[in-house]
Amino acid sequence: MSTIGHRRYVALLLPFDEQMKVDEQAFRRYVRYYADDPRFAAEGGLCVNPEAGEIFYLTREEKRRVLEIAMEEAHGKLPIIAGTWALRTEEMVETARDAKALGVDGIFVTPPGGAQDVTSCWDADAYPEIWLDTVIAQDRAVDLPIITHPVSGSDFPFYPGLPVGAALHMCREVPNIVGWKMTYTYDGFRIVAKGLRSLNRPVAIMGALASRFHEYRATGMFDGTLSGFWTFAKEPMLDHLEAWDRRDLEGACRIWDSGLVNLHEYIADMGRLHIRYKTAAWLRGLIPSPFMRSPMPKPKPEEIDTIYNLLKALNLSVIDRSDLKRAA
């Protein structure tokens, strides 16, 4: 059984300089923040070039260079998986080959982007091959463990993830799928998690929306994570999950109710999720700027203030208030 999916992956952000070029030195420091932390490295992992890392706005060369830096700083310290998204299937395959050549432990696959036929209007149950064919092509090219990032135009309760029928079909068709990122609301999560447990082989249930981690741990439907919430709240999240590992329910509840759930619930606005990740990481002093490549939005002043106060309420280290003027 592959254990690649049974770990706590952070979906790494990508810092840019003032010209919106990749800030390589800042990224190195950011990778070391996770790789050199024994508590995180013991159960954690790095997902390089995820959606949170703005893979949709990177060239193939940039994706390769970002992964190269991560491998230089963290290879051998904890597992590293790499996103492979590209506009065309051929480039997905080449990006997967780049990742394998650099020595990754697995690939992180995302559905196609572009026309409505393969995005907002895609019926994944009727036409699972829209995504499945791209995954099979990558699987044949690199034969590595695969973790999925299911997103589609599905209706409730599966929005914004993949319906349970299509999800299980993909897992049966591609044995290298070892982890399923749970991009669902609570109701969809429960249905898909039960479906994954019904398979005749293990596929890890990987929590994404940390505002629900407390409930997910209580149900036992939680094998690992692939989440951007680690980008700004690593320490209290470790405290919370380690309390659950010890079966210390009172301790887990105390940490959760100390302000962690409030922070997570504010960040978890699906229409502002990634800019809030980056803003929170910047406020923690982990990256030098909150800005994302266009057309991604900039943080609103009220978002900066709210996140700053929520971080302070958790007694997390933050930058000086005078530095907030730079973003404003």
308-321: per-residue pLDDT in tens?
999 999 999 999 98
Amino acid at 64: R
Nearest to 324, CA basis, from 292, 282, 264: 282
* Cα 68 to Cα 24, 75, 146, distances in angstroms: 11, 10, 19
Which pLDDT score is estimated for 1? 37
Give the chain's mean pLDDT.
96
Nearest to 49, CA basis, from 20, 97, 10: 10
Close Cβ partners of 295 (under 8 Å, ≥ 6 residues apart): none
Burial track 181-208 (b if 16+ CB lie within 10 A, e otherwise): bbbbbeebbbebbebbeeeeebbbbbbb
Dist. CA 15–CA 272, nearest whole Å: 18
Which pLDDT score is estimated for 46? 98
Close Cβ partners of 262 (under 8 Å, ≥ 6 residues apart): 310, 313
* Cα 230 to Cα 56, 109, 278, 324, 326, distances in angstroms: 21, 20, 11, 22, 24
Ranges of residues in the chain with a pLDDT under 50 are 1
Nearest to 78, CA basis, from 26, 168, 12, 22: 12
- The predicted model scores a pTM of 0.97
What does 257-275 look like in DSSP terms, one character per residue?
A: IIIIHHHHHHH--TTTHHH
What does 141-193 look like in DSSP terms, one character per residue?
A: HH---EEE-----PPTTTTTS--HHHHHHHHHH-TTEEEEEE-S-HHHHHHHH
End-to-end CA distance of the chain: 49
Dist. CA 118–CA 112, nearest whole Å: 6
CB 326 within 8 A of CB 298: no
